[in-house]
Structure 1
Amino acid sequence: MTNVLKAIKGMNDILPGSVPRKDKLPDSALWQWFETTVRSVLGRYGYQYLLTPIVEPTALFVRGLGEVTDIVEKEMYSFTDAMNGDQLTLRPEATAGIVRAMVEHNALYNGPLRLWTLGPMFRHERPQKGRYRQFNQLDVEALGFAGPDVDAELILMVRRLWQELGLVVGQHVRLELNSLGQPTERQAHREALIAYFEAHAEQLDEDARRRLHSNPLRILDTKNPALQALVEAAPSLMDFLGAETLGHFNAVRAALDAAGLAYRINPRLVRGMDYYNLTVFEWVTDHLGSQGTVCGGGRYDGLFEQLGGKPTPAVGFGLGIERLLLLIQELALPVPAVSPTAYAVVADPASLPQVLVTLEALRAAGIAVQMHASGGGIKAQFKKADASGAAFALVFGADELAQGMVAVKPLRDAAAAQSLKPLADVATWAHELRNA
């Protein structure tokens, strides 16, 4: 076994729950349930699905995210295309690629769009629980909408998703909110920050000193405990916001208040990309240790123009799927089982052609049926049927088949009686199975 190839560190296989594993990562059934829930919730809000490439030009992220962000400086998987020398990058996030696609295809010509996508992202960082080199993200964007109403609707949509996943707002997750203002307001704040941190330069760590003149706002997001007191006393952006910006922020707050959604204003909430303005938000939890942010986003009205498009208002969020599913596991929330409706027990392999015809008819009628394969005794097959989680066993015995029948045995209700069903009229009793 010494020559067995293994997955790259920080890049994980998502396996069925029937496959034993030591790392306790969410199984594929949990993923399927999450994706089904997402499609249902987002569909109710009018969001449409799209896909963008996993590989994009490196310049897209340098220009879109900012040269002095952690992602661009330290975390991107970038390489040179051997065919033509192009600089390419495995996408570290989805928003820049979606905006690139909108600009390239003039996708907003007929008006604003609500969009979502789901898939793998890549960041070269130290793997730990809830933080991986290949991670999957749900990304949701409302493009072409300038008002605070869409900001609020987007946040409330996340609350709706939490509710349908079984998470309790205020107990399992909570909302933090801030406004990053507009560029002129941030510039005034930036100058005040530089002056403040220059006056306390001896207290800054190496990372903060490096960012002092290039991106001082990112110092506020430091994870260094030794800098927390200094950061807390730094000039607040809120003191530099004008009437129009505060009006937008207060309108978002008023909508959330009216909807009964509690939140905390966090003036140090800055997010990790340079493209944000006005509303920013994070949904955080105390149940995952240091990896407390499970969803975050905000408004980024300047990104379209930054990437060569026309000025276009936009707001969106990203949700780390692995981290969220780990939270659901940590809280032991109830998750619907993914099980077949019926399990086919085949007494004699010679009857397989007749069995398969019946099973195909059931599947055509919308019934999920798992067939026992590769032989085995009846007792062993019933054991497998029970382990499958199926509600019924379909017993294709010699006596039943001779009568043109199949025995339907309830597996989850000991008081329910076994019955015979005609093979020639599958559609009729398929309806009974579906509604049992």
Structure 2
Amino acid sequence: MACQQRGLSTVPAEIPGHIQRIFLQINKLTEIRSTAFSLCRNLTVLWLYSNNIRHIEAGAFYGLERLEELDIGDNNDLRSISSTAFSGLSRLQTLHLHRCGLSELPYGVFMGLSSLQYLYLQDNNLIAIHDNTFLDLANLAVLHLHNNRIKAVTDHMFRGLLSLDRLLLHQNRVSVVHRRAFHDLRRLNTLFLFHNNLTVLSGEAMEPLVSLRYLRLNGNQWICDCRARALWDWFKTFKGSSSELECHAPEHLFTKDLKLLKSSELEGCYDSRRHTWTSLVNGRSSQYGKGFSTQTPPGAAIPRCCLANMDKSSILSDKGPSGHSSYDSQQITKNPLKEKENISRTKGAELGVSKNGSHTVGPGDSSGTLTHPLDKHRHEFTEDQQSSDNPLQKKCSQNFKSDGRCLIDSGSTVSVIDIMLLLVVWLFWSLR
């Protein structure tokens, strides 16, 4: 039934039940009601693209159990669809939803579409896609998501796409690809990620793509430092065809192809905020005059590879301005392993007292030995002790044999046996 380009504003009534194909594209339809195709039980192809459809009622395609192709594309005013819009279309193989102004895909919108092989979602306003959105699409072979506003490819975004052959994600705003994003895509043959906001891409994320043959990553802003090493390693094993990966930073590697760099050229850390390059080999740092529009993914301000090669001498901090120990300054190290070591050492110093009364931090610690608070009185009870500047301590030093208060105040030095002996002597002299 060919009704295209007729200027129709509503779906014709009383469509014969035996009709298998209906072409209603390029008309002026504004909505699809739930009863529009209720009698078309034999329908296999339905084209509704290039209309002015703004609303599709729930159940509009209910009962079309034989439908194999549905094209609703190029309806910019649609903007949203119901989560049950495609319920019951178990035989649907091709679904067009391109240029529909969609900003979100509701949870479960593709549930039950187990026969779907081609899904076109390009040229919309999608910012994010919920995890497990495609979980039921085990037979999907082609997924077009290009020219949207997607910012991140999450771990479970493509979960369940075990048969996917072509994935187009170019011309989005992707700045982050999580490490397990492509975990289920072992049959993927083509991946397009060009013209996004990528600066780094994990080699681990690419490892599941064992069938990949065509890869395009050009048009991104690659930072070619130690963060790119894992991706560089992966490319050494990749046998397919790939675009160039032009370095945008640091300056001395600008426009060079990441894949063609030497291993030694990636042994450094680039700071996109200060535009500095620090070599991990000789520790030298240099600053560049030009600024690049690089974006560092969340959590990557200090690359993990840079943290792993930090100068160990900078971890054991000296006393700060307040005179506190390294335990107080351990927060500024930003090295989890060293922080744990610092805390363990200092806690041991606070809890463990050595035999001579001092609290030791441990061998090799730059902060040395932490002195017990009462140790400053230790030598006041020796006859050769130099006089103290404290009047109270002078008094105690000169009269320590007869002043019990001084004996108590110096508790960490005088043992119990010494006290008992002094008491015996005092009693002996009193009885006389």
Q: TM-score, normalised by structure 2?
A: 0.23
Structure exhibiting the larger radius of gyration computed from Cα positions: 2
Q: Which has the higher helix share?
A: 1
Q: TM-score, normalised by structure 1?
A: 0.23
Which structure has more relative contact order (CA 8 Å, sep 6+)? It is 1
Q: Which has the higher strand share?
A: 1
